[in-house]
Amino acid sequence: MSRDSRYLESVLHHDIPLTREMGLKVLAWHEQQLSLHLPLEPNVNHKSTMFGGSLYCGAVLAGWGWLHLRLKEEGIDDGHIVIQEGQISYPLPVTDDATAICPPPEAAVWKKFLAMYQRYGRARLTLNTRIVNAGSDENAVTFSGQYVLHR
């Protein structure tokens, strides 16, 4: 596990205690893509699949964590990240442990976001996360979240 991954996991477990109860782990921060591990057992529902609320949390946290690490890389540590809006779809059941993946937005979108924040002290960024079953690359969950960074 990289230093950035360990750092983010400690931030999540400290600042958002629910992540400890969920068993959430940071798998990787590589080439500006964040991957989180969501175990089935603490997030199981009555159908022996992963609870939709846990999947929503995992998707939101993948975007939140992505933004947290990218801002750290940019040397920006004076902002607060909040989720403003989220849209989720559950095309497949999650029947095992899962991985939440948040890739980077387009470079131009990121540059505009940074410029807005530096100018106004507030900016909005849409991040798209997907969740897959362990051993699969098929989307079990797709999520689009609008995050706000403000001073």
Mean pLDDT of 16-39: 97
Percent of the chain with pLDDT strictly greater than 70 = 100
Q: Could you give all domains of the chain from N- to C-terminal order, each with its CATH number?
A: 1-148 (3.10.129.10)
Mean pLDDT of 53-68: 98
Check residue 2 and give its pLDDT: 87
For the stretch 94-137, pLDDT in tens is: 999 999 999 999 999 999 999 999 999 999 999 999 999 999 99
Long-range contacts of 84-87 (CB under 8 A, 24+ apart): 84/124, 84/146, 84/147, 84/148, 85/145, 85/146, 86/56, 86/59, 86/60, 86/143, 86/144, 86/145, 86/146, 87/143, 87/144, 87/145
pLDDT of 1 above 80: no
